[in-house]
Amino acid sequence: MKPKVAILLPTMGKMEAVLHDWLVLTAGSGKYSLLDLKTYGISPVDKAFNILHRRFLDSDADYAFVLNDDECPEPGALDRLMAHDKDIVSGVCWKWTEEQGPLPVAARWSEEAQTFYWVQGEGLEKIDRVSFSGVLMKRAVLEKVLVGTYAHLPICACECGWADHRARKRMMDCPKCGKKLIADGTEMASPGFLFMDEARRRGFEVWMDFGVRIHHYKTVDLQRVNDLMALARNETKAEVLAAVKDLAAKGVPDAEIIGALVG
């Protein structure tokens, strides 16, 4: 019997053409029974996902595969994730940090530092947090994690440098220096991360296959891409990083920089 996979896809009424093609090809492969669950024009995204969470529970699907409308898994991604037979397993998307350059959106918790940190990996590894960018979950996960767990929460911060990476919004005093914390809404804990925190509390493991790419598509200016690629080809690493930091300081979106440098 074919596994029944629900594609959970919050949209604003459109998606990348490559994602449409991937859905058609995956459905036509004959390997899966695909249930197409989308929202249209529902924002913020946490509200859209909670609607999809309820619709999934009303279905008879065995798995949920969560994507964003500007992403596309590489060919064979779903096959490879299914083969791992994990409760929660994700492909890898990328983010940019000034200190380390492009990094997978994958994090582990450090008890010593009391913070999450970004990790590089190879192959299949157990981690603590993944985003909802190409993550496959068994039905039991969405049955046990309550609807509404996926929600934006403010990250409190302190002038001493401490930040509330667990998004404990009731916390009022800094555990490092005792001063009052500031939550001005300019930083948010990823709702996918919060979902993974709750899933782990309920006994599920979170895994990432660092060899499965989930491509993140953005509209970019071609001249800027050409300039960045020229830097990547012809300059030393230090000069490239300096140039990229300068672009970031000018407000160039992270996705444009990452897309140009890592493809």
SS3 sequence of 215-243: EECCCCCHHHHHHHHHHHHHCCHHHHHHH
| Domain presence at residue 157 | no
Indicate the pTM of the whole model.
Answer: 0.74
| Domain presence at residue 163 | no
Average pLDDT for the chain: 82
In the chain, alpha helices (H): 17-28, 45-57, 77-84, 139-144, 191-201, 222-234, 237-249, 254-262
| Domain presence at residue 158 | no
Nearest alpha-carbon partner for 170 in 162, 158, 159, 181: 181
Say yes or no: 239 and 134 in one domain. no
- Inter-residue contact 167 to 22 (CB < 8 Å): no
pLDDT score recorded for residue 187: 45
pLDDT score recorded for residue 186: 41
| Domain presence at residue 177 | no
Say yes or no: 197 and 245 in one domain. no
Say yes or no: 196 and 238 in one domain. no
How far, CA to CA in Å, does 165 sit from each of 106, 154, 171, 174, 225? 14, 10, 12, 12, 33
Say yes or no: 117 and 242 in one domain. no
Starting at the earlier edge strand, list the strands of the sheet with 115-118.
Answer: 115-118, 106-110, 129-130
**What does the alpha-carbon distance between residue 151 and residue 17 come to, in Å, rounded to a whole number?**
28
CATH number at 198 reads 3.90.550.40
Say yes or no: 120 and 226 in one domain. no
Is residue 17's pLDDT more than 60?
A: yes
Is residue 169's pLDDT more than 90?
A: no
Q: Report which residue type is found at 136.
A: L
pLDDT score recorded for residue 231: 60
Q: What is the pLDDT of residues 82-137, one digit of tens each?
A: 999 999 999 998 876 666 667 788 889 888 877 788 888 899 999 999 988 899 99
| Domain presence at residue 174 | no
Say yes or no: 32 and 93 in one domain. yes
How far, CA to CA in Å, does 125 sit from each of 89, 154, 164, 190? 9, 29, 25, 21
Burial class (CB in 10 A: 0-12, 13-18, 19+), 154: middle
Say yes or no: 247 and 134 in one domain. no
DSSP 203: T
pLDDT score recorded for residue 188: 45
What is the extent of the structural domain holding 253? 222-262
Nearest alpha-carbon partner for 211 in 116, 117, 79: 79
**What does the alpha-carbon distance between residue 53 and residue 224 come to, in Å, rounded to a whole number?**
39
Q: Going by C-beta distance under 8 Å and a sequence separation of 6 or more, which residues neighbour residue 258?
A: 94, 95, 96, 102, 216
Helix, strand, or coil here: 130? strand
Q: Report which residue type is found at 159.
A: E
Q: Going by C-beta distance under 8 Å and a sequence separation of 6 or more, which residues neighbour residue 159?
A: 179, 182
Say yes or no: 212 and 238 in one domain. no
pLDDT score recorded for residue 32: 93
Say yes or no: 226 and 133 in one domain. no
pLDDT score recorded for residue 109: 87
Which is more confident, 185 or 140?
140
Buried b (16+ CB within 10 A) or exposed e, 162-176: bbbbbbeeeeeebee
Question: Which of 10-14, 175-179, 243-247 is predicted with the least confidence, judged by mean pLDDT?
Answer: 243-247
**What does the alpha-carbon distance between residue 14 and residue 210 come to, in Å, rounded to a whole number?**
28
Q: What is the pLDDT of residues 197-236, one digit of tens each?
A: 999 999 999 999 999 999 888 766 666 666 666 666 655 5
**What does the alpha-carbon distance between residue 79 and residue 83 come to, in Å, rounded to a whole number?**
6
User: How many folded domains does the chain comprise?
Assistant: 2
Say yes or no: 75 and 205 in one domain. yes
Say yes or no: 25 and 59 in one domain. yes
